[in-house]
Amino acid sequence: MSDRFSVLFVCRGNTKRSRGAEVIAAAKAERMGMDLDVSSAGLVAPTEGYELFNSQRLQKVLKRRGYEAGYHRRQQVTREMMEGKDLVLAMNNSHIKGIYDIAPDLMDKDTPIVDTLPAFVGYPHRRIVDPEERIDEVWKSEKWKWMRWMPYEIDLEMLFHKVIETVGPDRIIFATDSSYFPRGFCDLYLREQLKACRSIGLDEKSIKKIFYGNAAKLLKIKK
């Protein structure tokens, strides 16, 4: 086994997500002078007919951020491949399940080497979306078409500004589909929205109304 620290990124097909993570990690390691062995593989990555593969969408996404991907050979992840790595990072929890189906004994190690990439960098409730399919899927969705014609960029700050300007803080209630089941409450969304409110200069009294007071009043919850 090499003395270099080795990382294997895993997704479903080894065409976009894991390949993108490999390219970015390798580039960053080189820039930082780190001796890192980086590779990627897929749970369902047939090599026949895919000797060299290149995703145009992935190329565009990476190029905008200063990275070059190029063609690569898809790899089918194997037990032997994972056993020789110091760290195995999957793109989401379904990939973790696939990894353990291939090598269930990895769960029994005293020091777990398998994790999701979002969890490893401190965002356990996030996931890595497919840069080729998900972007097009969201963009083509009817409910998002209105965003194409907006005369300004849409972000949290702008949304809060426009809604408050239109209806006022007394008619806004914070809501989220993040709950205690099945994944647990993710307070990141709450923190981001609080930050957005404060960044546009909203006073604390109005913030309290939006994130608690208005709902408490509507539901007749005693403080």
Q: Going by C-beta distance under 8 Å and a sequence separation of 6 or more, which residues neighbour residue 192?
A: 156
Asked if 91 and 117 count as a contact pair (C-beta separation under 8 A), the reply is: yes
Please tell me the predicted confidence (pLDDT) of residue 1: 47
CA distance 131 to 104: 29
Q: Which parts of the chain register pLDDT below 50?
A: 1, 111, 135-140, 181-183
Please tell me the predicted confidence (pLDDT) of residue 133: 52
Please tell me the predicted confidence (pLDDT) of residue 2: 57
pTM for the model stands at 0.56
Long-range CB contacts (< 8 A, 24+ apart) of 216-223?
A: 218/173
| CATH superfamily ID and name for 5-120 | Response regulator (3.40.50.2300)
What is the tens place of the pLDDT at every residue in 43-65? 987 666 555 666 777 787 788 78
Please tell me the predicted confidence (pLDDT) of residue 222: 77
The strand pair at 114-116 and 87-90 is best described as parallel
Reduced to 3 states (helix: H, G, I; strand: E, B; else coil), residue 8 is strand
Please tell me the predicted confidence (pLDDT) of residue 122: 63
Domain locations in the chain as residue ranges: 5-120, 150-218
Asked if 193 and 174 count as a contact pair (C-beta separation under 8 A), the reply is: yes
